[in-house]
Structure 1
Amino acid sequence: MTNQKKDGGNAKGQPVLDVRNLDVSLVGAGQTRVVRDVSLTVNPGETVCVVGESGSGKSVTAFSIMGLLSSEALRCTSGSILLQGENVLEASAERLRDLRATTMAMVFQEPMTALNPVETVGDQIDEVLRIHRKELGKRERRQRVMAMLESVHLPDPERIYNSYPHQLSGGQRQRVVICIALILEPKLLIADEPTTALDVTTQRQILLLIRELQEKHNTAVLFITHDFGVVADIADRVVVMNRGEVVEMGPRDQILAEPAEDYTRMLVSSVPSLVPDTRAENRNEIVLSVKELGKTYSEKGFLKRRRDVAAAVDINLTLRRGEILGVVGESGSGKSTLARCVVRLQDPTSGEVVICGENIAALRGQPLQAMRKRVQMVFQDPYRSLNPRLTVGDSITEGLTNFGVSRDAALARARELMTLVGLSPDVLQRFPHQFSGGQRQRLCIARALALEPDVLVADEAVSALDVSVQAQVLALLDDIREKTGVGVLFITHDLRVAAQICDTIMVMQNGRMVEFGAAADVLTAPREAYTRALLDAAPGRHWDFQHFRPL
C-alpha cells in the first residue's frame, strides 16, 4: 500500500484544517503549558501523520481540535484552530456539536470503549443521523446505515446492524467506529492510533479502507500514530512532536529518509528491522514442552444448540532456557489461548504443558499453586494489570510473601529487581498512576521476575508502547534473558518486534501451528503462504528505517 502521492500534499486552495500557534495549559497549575505554539495544516484529500512519544501532545492537540478537552483539566490559552475558515475555539457548545460528525469526526484508539456496550451497532450509527439529519425518516436512515456498513466491507451487514459490540471482532468494531465517523461525510477525519492493537492483516485492511473512503470523498485526514511503518505507507506529510512542541515537519520521504532533528532520527532508527539477525542455536535444557495441546470452548445460549469452538488444536512446541520463542498470527489465531493455557489461567481441554519435567496441565489444588512460581506472565496493558490502590512495592512483593518469604527479604528482592529493570529502588513507594506506560511495563516485568520463574510468558507486552519505549523494553527483555536464563514465550502480532527479539518463531492460524523454525528462516524464507501473507501485510515493509532509506 505504498503511497503514490509525490508532491508532499501541497493542495491548492484553503486547507480544511489550519492550526496556528496553539497553546494548551493545565487548569489551576500556574498555567503550565502542555502544548506550546503548535501549528499545522491539512489540505483536502491529504493525510498528515502526527508522530512522537507518549506525552508529546499528539492526542491533546487532536482533542483540542474536536473541542473534547476536559474544561476542569485543560484549556486552550492562545492561538486558533480554523476548520474551513471557522475558528472552533470561538464556537459555542451548540455549534461544536453541529460541527462534530458533519464537518469533523474522530476515530478513537480503542473501539470497545468508544462504542456503547448496551446498544446495537445499528442504533449507534443511526444515532448520528437522528441528531444531525432530522429530516430523514426511519426507513431512509436504515438504508444509509446499511449502505455505510457495506462501504466499509463488513460481512453480512444485516447481522452486523443487529449485533452488539462484544459480538464483533476488533477489526469489525473499528470499522463500525469508522462508519459512525464518516456517515455524514465530514471534511476532516482525525484518527487517533486507530490500528495500534490490530494484527497486521486487519491493520492493513483498516488503512486501505480509510484511504479508499478518503479518495472517494476527498477527506482531509489527521492521523496520529507511533507506528512508523504506518507512516511510511499512508502519509503525505509528517509532523513530529516532542514535549508539546512541533520539532520537525515535512513531506514523508524527507522526514523518513533525511530527518533533520536528532529526536526524529532517534524515533525513526528505533523502528525494528523486519530482517532478524542470525542467532546461534540454543542447546540449553528444555524448560517448557507443550505436547498436543488443545482448547475447545463450548457456546450455548438460551434456546440455542451447543456450539464447540476449537481455539487451539494439537499445538506442539519446546522452549529452552535462555530462548525467546515468538508466537505470531492474526487476531483469533489462538495465540493468547495458548499463553493462558501455559500459565494455567485456562485449563487445556487436552494435551500436556510440561514445565521443568512437571505436567502442570494435570495438576490441581495445592500442587498447582506450588508450580505457579515457575511460570509468570506479563500482560498487554500494564495499567490494568497493576492494582491502582497498592504501591508498586506491595504489588511486587505480594507474590513473594504469598510463598512464605519474609517482608524484609521480599523488599530487598524488590529493590534488586528495580535495578534490574532500570528503575530506582526509591520508586517502590509510588502508585501505578505516577509512572509512564513504559515504566509501568518495566514494573510488570519486575513483578513477574520476583519469583525467579523458569518460563516468562509475554502476551503483546509492547504493542501499546511508542517506538522508543518499545525499543527500551525489548532491550530490557533481551538483557534479562541473558542475565537470568529465563525462557520467554513472546506473543505478538508485530513482525518487526518478533524479528528483533525472537530466536525462534511459531506461526499460528485458526488455532493451529502452520510454521515453526528459526526466526531468520521464518521471516526471510517462509515456507507457508499464510506466513508470506503476514509479511506482505506488514506496514512499511518497503522501508529500511535503520538506514533511513526505502528498500
Structure 2
Amino acid sequence: MSDRVLDISNLRIALNGNEDSQVVKGLNLKIEPGQTMCLVGESGSGKSLTALATMGLLPKVLSPIAGSIVLKGEDMLTATPARMRTLRATAMSMIFQEPMTALNPVARVGQQIEEVLEFHSDLSQSERRRRVLEMMEAVHLPDIEKLYKSYPHQLSGGQRQRIMIAMALIMRPQLLIADEPTTALDVTTQAQILKLIRELREEQGTAVLFITHDMGVVSEIADDVTVLKLGEVMETQSVDNLLRHPQTDYTRDLLRSVPSQVPRPARSVATDEIVLDTDKLCKTYGGGGLFFRAREVMAAQDVSLSLLKGRTLGIVGESGSGKSTVARCIMRLIDPTSGSIKVGGKDIATLSQKDLKPQRKNIQIVFQDPMRSLNPRIEVGESIIEGPLNFGVPRNKAMTRARELLELVGLPASAVDRFPHQFSGGQRQRIAIARALAMDPDVLVADEAVSALDVSVQAQVLDLLAELQARFGLGILFITHDLGVAAQICDDVVVMQYGRVVEYGPAGQVLGAPQQDYTKALIAAAPGRHWDFANFRPFAEAP
C-alpha cells in the first residue's frame, strides 16, 4: 500500500453536487509504480472526468461528492489549490488528446517546456536549457536545437505530442495521465508514441493511467484494464485476461466492435460505371514570389484513381502523405495545379466557381469533426436544407426531405429543431452524413469521418455508410489512417507517401499481401494487429 502511486476509492462525481445526477459512480482504481492501467469505455463513460478529477481540473459544474483520490498517500480531493499546482508538475502530469489546444501557439516550444522548470525548480537558466534539451532528446525528437526555437505550428502532429510528453515528464512525476494521446495520429507515429511511453515508464518507473477507446492500443501498452460504462466499473482485469476472457456483455460488445485488420471478402462488381476519375492530379504549394522564389512542396504528384458506382475506394498513409490534399482537390475546396478530375464524366478540375456550382451537388464531403463543420448557431434542419435551397428546392419540400434523411441515419425527425451541441459526437456525424445525402450525390468523400469516434459508435457509422451505399449506389472515397477501418469498408485501397501513390489495388491484395515496403511498414505499425478481438484470441491461436 505504501508503494502504491494512485489509489482511487469509491469516487463519485455529480453534476452541481446533485447525488441524483452522478456521472462517475463509485469508481475504484489502483496503480502501482511502473504499471500502465488503461481506462476504456465509450464516450460519456467517465474516463476523462476521472483523469480531470485526479488532476484537480474538473469544471465547476462537476464536483466529487464522495470517495478519495490518494496520490502517494496524499488525498487530492482535500489538497489546497496551491498544493495542487505544485503536485501537477512534480508528482503527476497529463498529456492531452490534442496538443495544439494545450500548447501556447505564440511561444516557442522549448520555452514552454522550460517554464515548468522555472516555476518548480531552482535551476539556473543554462541548467534549465540543458535539461530541456536532454528531455527533448529522450523523447526522440530530431534536431533538438532547431525544434527548441520552433513554434507549435511548425511541428508535425507527432512532434507536438512528443513536446507534450517532454513537458509532462520534465519534473519526473510519479504518475503520468495520458488522455487519448494517439487518437488523431497515423499508425506509424502512434506506434512511436506508444513505444516512447513504454520506454520512459521502464526507465523512470512512472505509473501510467492511459485513457483510450482503441482496443488495439490497449493490447499494445496495458498491464491492466478497467472498463467503464456510464460512470460505473464493469470489470478490471489484466490485459491478456480481458482480451481472452471478457466478463461482461459490454466488454464483449466493445471487443467485437473493433474493426479487424483482415480485409473483408471481395465484393462482386455490379457495374463498371465510373463516378469519379482522376488522372495525373498534382498540387504544388509555394513557388512564385516577388523578389525570390519560395520553396515548392509537391503535396500531390501524379495521382490517378478511379471509383466505381456503389464501391468504396480508400486512401491510406501517414500524416503529410497527401490524402486530405487529394480529397480537397477532388472537392475543389482547393484548386489542383494540374491534372484532371472527372465526376460523372465531366472534368471539373479547371472549371470556374460559377461553372463549378451546378456540379457540386454530385459530390459531397463528410469531415472528421462535425462540430466544426456544422454551424453551432442554427438548427440542424437548417444546415441540412441549406444545399437544396441553394439549388432551388422549395423550403417545405427540402425540410420534409431533411426529416426523412434524419430518420434514415437513425435519428428522430424532430431533431431538425435542435442545435448541434445537443447531440453526441456520433449523432453529429450522422447529421453531417444526412446533410451530404440531401444533395443526392453520386460521390461521397469521407475525410477521416470516424477517426474521432469510439469503437462502438464507429462501427455504427460504418454500418450506416454501408447501408446507404447499398440503397443509393453511392461511390465512397474514404480517407483514413486506420487500417482496420480500411480493411472492413474498402473495396480498393490507394496507399500514399509524400504525395505519391506507392500501391493501388483491391483491399484484399494491398492490405492482405502488400508488395511495397512502405505498405508493409504501415501494417506492421498498426496496433492490435496480432489480435482477433471478435473471437477473443490472438490470430496465432486461430484453429
- Per the shorter chain, which TM-score range? over 0.9
Give the conservation status (yes or no) of the 8 Å contact 2:387–2:439.
yes
1:9 maps to which residue? Answer: none
2:346 maps to which residue? Answer: 358
% of aligned pairs identical?
A: 61
1:333 corresponds to 2:321: yes
Q: CA deviation at 1:280?
A: 2.8
CA distance in 1, matches of 2:212, 2:485: 17
CA distance in 1, matches of 2:143, 2:116: 22
CA distance in 1, matches of 2:352, 2:268: 35
Return the match for 1:50 from 39, 43, 47. Answer: 39
Give the conservation status (yes or no) of the 8 Å contact 2:262–2:487.
yes
Q: CA deviation at 1:452?
A: 0.5
Q: Within 5 A, what are the aligned runs for 1:136-535?
A: 136-282=123-269, 283-298=271-286, 306-535=294-523
Give the conservation status (yes or no) of the 8 Å contact 1:300–1:306.
yes
Q: What RMSD, in angstroms, separates the aligned Cα atoms of the two structures?
A: 1.3
User: Closer, same or farther in 2 for the Cα pair 1:82/1:416, shift >3 Å?
Assistant: same
Give the conservation status (yes or no) of the 8 Å contact 1:44–1:218.
yes
Instruction: Summarize deviations over 1:369-403 as a string: whole Å, max 9, x none.
Output: 11111110000001111100010000000111011
> SS where residue 307 of structure 2 aligns?
strand
> SS where residue 134 of structure 2 aligns?
helix
Q: CA deviation at 1:70?
A: 1.4
CA distance in 1, matches of 2:65, 2:411: 36
Q: CA deviation at 1:279?
A: 1.6
Q: CA deviation at 1:412?
A: 1.0
> SS where residue 175 of structure 1 aligns?
helix
1:4 maps to which residue? Answer: none
2:10 maps to which residue? Answer: 21
Instruction: Summarize deviations over 1:207-241 as a string: whole Å, max 9, x none.
Output: 00011111110000000000000000111000000
Q: Within 5 A, what are the aligned runs for 1:74-89?
A: 74-89=62-77
CA distance in 2, matches of 1:499, 1:368: 33
1:540 maps to which residue? Answer: 528
CA distance in 2, matches of 1:474, 1:320: 19
> SS where residue 354 of structure 2 aligns?
helix
> SS where residue 361 of structure 1 aligns?
coil
CA distance in 2, matches of 1:521, 1:281: 15
Specify the code of the residue in structure 2 equivalent to 1:230.
Answer: V
CA distance in 1, matches of 2:331, 2:436: 12
CA distance in 1, matches of 2:199, 2:114: 22
User: Closer, same or farther in 2 for the Cα pair 1:472/1:316, shift >3 Å?
Assistant: same
> SS where residue 503 of structure 2 aligns?
strand
Give the conservation status (yes or no) of the 8 Å contact 2:309–2:474.
yes
> SS where residue 90 of structure 1 aligns?
coil
> SS where residue 255 of structure 1 aligns?
helix
Q: CA deviation at 1:28?
A: 6.2
Q: CA deviation at 1:128?
A: 0.2
CA distance in 1, matches of 2:471, 2:183: 31
Q: CA deviation at 1:313?
A: 0.2
Instruction: Summarize deviations over 1:244-291 as a string: whole Å, max 9, x none.
Output: 111111110111111010000000110011111222342330000000
Give the conservation status (yes or no) of the 8 Å contact 2:17–2:62.
no
User: Closer, same or farther in 2 for the Cα pair 1:400/1:182, shift >3 Å?
Assistant: same
Gaps of 5+ in 1: 1-11
CA distance in 1, matches of 2:58, 2:289: 42
CA distance in 2, matches of 1:29, 1:344: 51
CA distance in 2, matches of 1:494, 1:526: 16
Give the conservation status (yes or no) of the 8 Å contact 1:328–1:505.
yes
2:54 maps to which residue? Answer: 65
Specify the code of the residue in structure 2 equivalent to 1:310.
Answer: M
CA distance in 2, matches of 1:376, 1:112: 28
With normalisation by structure 1, the TM-score equals 0.96
Give the conservation status (yes or no) of the 8 Å contact 2:532–2:538.
yes
User: Closer, same or farther in 2 for the Cα pair 1:545/1:303, shift >3 Å?
Assistant: farther
CA distance in 2, matches of 1:353, 1:143: 52
Runs of 4 or more consecutive aligned structure 1 residues displaced over 3 Å after TM superposition: 28-31, 299-305
CA distance in 2, matches of 1:508, 1:365: 29
Instruction: Summarize deviations over 1:44-100 as a string: whole Å, max 9, x none.
Output: 0000000000000000000000000112x1111110000001001010000000101
Give the conservation status (yes or no) of the 8 Å contact 1:284–1:322.
no
CA distance in 2, matches of 1:300, 1:84: 60
User: Closer, same or farther in 2 for the Cα pair 1:158/1:304, shift >3 Å?
Assistant: farther
Instruction: Summarize deviations over 1:493-514 as a string: whole Å, max 9, x none.
Output: 0000001100110000000000
Instruction: Summarize deviations over 1:342-391 as a string: whole Å, max 9, x none.
Output: 00000000000000111110110321011111110000001111100010
Instruction: Summarize deviations over 1:125-180 as a string: whole Å, max 9, x none.
Output: 011001101x1111110001111111111110011100000000000000000011
Q: CA deviation at 1:296?
A: 0.3
CA distance in 1, matches of 2:416, 2:25: 33
Instruction: Summarize deviations over 1:412-443 as a string: whole Å, max 9, x none.
Output: 11011112111110111000000000000000
1:36 corresponds to 2:32: no
Give the conservation status (yes or no) of the 8 Å contact 2:17–2:63.
no
Aligned residue pairs, count? 538
Q: CA deviation at 1:13?
A: 5.4
